[in-house]
Amino acid sequence: MIIARQPWASYGKMGTMPRKKKVKKFRAVEAVKALARERIGTPKASQVVPDRREEKGEKHKPTLGKMLDTE
């Protein structure tokens, strides 16, 4: 018996059908979020939180000697 091989099909995948999509399991969290999006709308885009280290000023108060030197 001779099988004619087609160039687009490999031997392991000859005549196979695509698999069915897996049915997603019901999740209450996703359902609640979907309802909230319908009623309220989509949430605002997240904003960048500024780095606390950059906002802070000096760690120690200037000493009296340093204050007198600057004047």
pLDDT of residue 53: 72
Tokens of 9: 């099909």
What's at 65, amino acid-wise?
A: G
C-beta separation of 4 from 10 below 8 A? no
Provide mean pLDDT across the span 7-21.
70
Dump pLDDT digits (tens) for 20-58.
889 989 999 999 999 999 999 988 888 888 777 776 667
| pTM recorded for the entire structure | 0.36
What's at 64, amino acid-wise?
A: L
C-beta separation of 27 from 35 below 8 A? no
d(C-alpha 54, C-alpha 9), whole Å: 60
C-beta separation of 5 from 11 below 8 A? yes
Place of tokens 């709308």: 41
pLDDT of residue 50: 78
Provide mean pLDDT across the span 4-26.
73
